[in-house]
Amino acid sequence: MRAPSYVQGVSRQSLLGDTVGSLLDRIAATHPDRPALVVRSQQVRLSYRQFHAEVERVAAGLLALGLQRGDRIGIWAPNRAEWVILQFAAPKAGLILVNINPAYRVHELEFALNKVSCKALVLPRRFKSSHYLDMLNDLAPELADSRPGRLASSRLPGLRDVILLDETSAPGTHAWHELAARGDAQAIEHLRRIERELGFDDPVNIQFTSGTTGSPKGATLTHHNIINNGYFIGEAMRLTEQDRLCIPVPFYHCFGMVLGNLACVTHGACMVIPGEGFDVLATLEAVQEERCTGLHGVPTMFIAELEHPEFRRFDLSSLRTGIMAGSPCPIEVMRRVVGEMHMSEVTIAYGMTETSPVSFQTTLDDPLERRVDSVGRIHPHLEVKLVDEQGRIVPRGTTGELCTRGYSVMLGYWDDDARTREAIDEARWMHTGDLAVIDDDGYCTIAGRLKDMIIRGGENVYPREIEEFLYTHPKVQDVQVFGVPDAKFGEQVCAWIRLREGCDSSEAEIQSYCRHHLAYFKVPHYVRFVDAFPMTVTGKVQKYLMREAMTEELLL
């Protein structure tokens, strides 16, 4: 009988006992003159000594505004230097940073701010087509006639302070630079008193999960959660103070702020931010001109970089590592990243917001084939088991729902005990909703989402398997597979395909290609050729929107 699908991360490396503030104090003292932060779009370049000083001034300035330990401060902004500074300043001051999706509109912003009762909000005037200040004024028209720090809004009853990322303030707001100006000696002393009271199990960050149904949930994470996850992510990449990591993924998500910023800071490495939002040329230019050794991205970002007509003109030879994560990583894309982008030490990571986020990651010791066909092995100090519908652990090599336990599991969903109990059981196992297989060597393969699994005529069909196969078709650039309702079989398989530039294909050609290699029930019954997939700003494909579109098109 095969061993059970249970793994634990044994490690000689201890967990860190830092708060975010004490971590930065320690790293800045160890590497004061090493580069900490480069933000090319803002011409910002800070050493660890300078970065630490700026974080302290802003942390003290937040307390000088009247914010108190445990208050929630939201940031609704794209990737900027101020985002990174606030990521460290807020927890240093004992505040809880609330990450708000830059793509949110008025209704979503109102929900997020009120759900966690944000007392302060940091935002820019605008970014691209998003006029943030205008949207806030629509939601809280009282702002225009308020004194800064004295907002009293009927729709946002908890919000008092609005901090504008601009050189000049707007009516009712503080300008960002005023925070550092308020961080005088008296405010710094207040900061020191607060810091002495903090513990690493205190909540430090709230991130809203992008559920496909129901309102977003505020996953509440501690210093201990995210510092240790960032540290062990960096260890898997073998980061040192000599590394420079290009981070084009959004900060509001764990990918940017934990796999990026915290992985760097825990190792004294440099955070290189190419721009406010993802731009292919800006990213490639940043890697070349800053001589970056690492690059993060979701698969669609790497595909866009590899397929860009100017890709060949960039010298990417400084690269060695990085992380591809956020959604399933196509094997063919991974091979091109290794071969054409010089990222021989690229790693794959798997996790979820509620687990800080990473649970599995490949390492540089893993053979290349394991770094392209799995998400690696269990992270240090964590446990994972795979269970069936009755909650029983399944044997190795069998598909089951992935459950995680350990330091990384969130405190819970903010002000939502019922949904917290649905996700975390009495033994503190976080039920992820992801289907996975663990082999005899402990490597994990993600089979898909429990809710994405297609059941066609009693057969379980895993979309990931069909997607990986279709990536081998020479005309296919990107593909997503999902189920649509069917009166006879319950569900049928549907594939949305993006073709390579200049290629033509047909539904019949794709189906014929599949029939020669896949069981009949896995062959897509419907094939559609599209220019793009509906996505979140973090690069996660929204299959439920595809399913809805096909259901409507087919009158199902």
| 241 exposure class (CB count in 10 Å sphere: 0-12, 13-18, 19+) | middle
Provide the residue range defining the domain that includes 527: 454-553
Give the number of C-alpha atoms closer than 13 A to the C-alpha of residue 58, restricted to the C-beta side.
28
Decide if 469 is inside a domain: yes
What are residue 193's phi and psi, to 5 degrees? Answer: -65, -40
Whole-number Å distance between alpha carbons of 478 and 34: 40
Tell me how far CA of residue 105 lies from CA of 156, 173, 546, in angstroms: 15, 20, 22
Q: What share of the chain is helix, strand, coil (3-state, %, to 5)?
A: 35, 25, 40
Decide if 418 is inside a domain: no
Identify the pLDDT of residue 465: 83
Identify the pLDDT of residue 213: 44
* Pick from 302, 333, 330, 327: nearest CA to 316: 302
Q: What sign does the dihedral 88-93-98-103 (CA atoms) show?
A: negative
SS3 of 3, please? Answer: coil
Whole-number Å distance between alpha carbons of 390 and 156: 43
In 257-363, DSSP assigns E strands to 270-273, 294-297, 321-324, 347-351, 358-361
Decide if 59 is inside a domain: yes
Chain position carrying tokens 């098109």: 553
Decide if 515 is inside a domain: yes
Where residue 38 sits, what CATH number does that domain have? 3.40.50.980
Whole-number Å distance between alpha carbons of 387 and 400: 5
Whole-number Å distance between alpha carbons of 156 and 553: 40
Whole-number Å distance between alpha carbons of 333 and 306: 9
End of a domain among 199, 233, 267?
199
Residues in the chain: 556
Largest CA distance in the chain: 74
Q: What sign does the dihedral 60-63-65-67 (CA atoms) show?
A: positive
- Cβ–Cβ under 8 Å, residues 467 and 328: yes
Decide if 66 is inside a domain: yes
Nearby residues of 482 by Cβ (< 8 Å), 6 or more positions away: 452, 454, 463, 494, 496, 543, 546, 547
Whole-number Å distance between alpha carbons of 179 and 528: 52
CA 101 to chain centre: 11
Where residue 509 sits, what CATH number does that domain have? 3.30.300.30
Q: For each of the chain's 556 residues, which pLDDT tens digit applies? A: 899 999 999 999 999 999 999 999 999 999 999 999 999 999 999 999 999 999 999 999 999 999 999 999 999 999 999 999 999 999 999 999 999 988 888 888 999 999 999 999 999 999 988 899 999 999 999 999 999 999 999 999 999 999 999 989 999 999 999 998 999 999 999 999 999 999 999 999 999 986 444 578 999 999 999 999 999 999 999 999 999 999 999 999 999 999 999 999 999 999 999 999 999 999 999 999 999 999 999 888 998 999 999 999 999 999 999 999 876 677 778 889 999 999 999 999 999 999 999 999 999 889 888 888 899 999 999 999 999 989 999 999 999 999 999 999 999 999 999 999 999 999 999 999 999 999 999 999 988 777 788 878 777 787 888 998 899 999 999 999 999 988 788 889 999 999 999 999 999 999 999 998 887 889 999 999 999 999 876 567 888 899 999 999 998 7
Whole-number Å distance between alpha carbons of 223 and 210: 22
- Domains contained in the chain, number: 2
End of a domain among 183, 199, 215?
199
What are residue 165's phi and psi, to 5 degrees? Answer: -80, 75
End of a domain among 178, 199, 220?
199
* Pick from 133, 125, 121, 124: nearest CA to 160: 121
Decide if 122 is inside a domain: yes
SS3 of 425, please? Answer: coil
Decide if 464 is inside a domain: yes
Amino acid residing at 357: P
Decide if 41 is inside a domain: yes
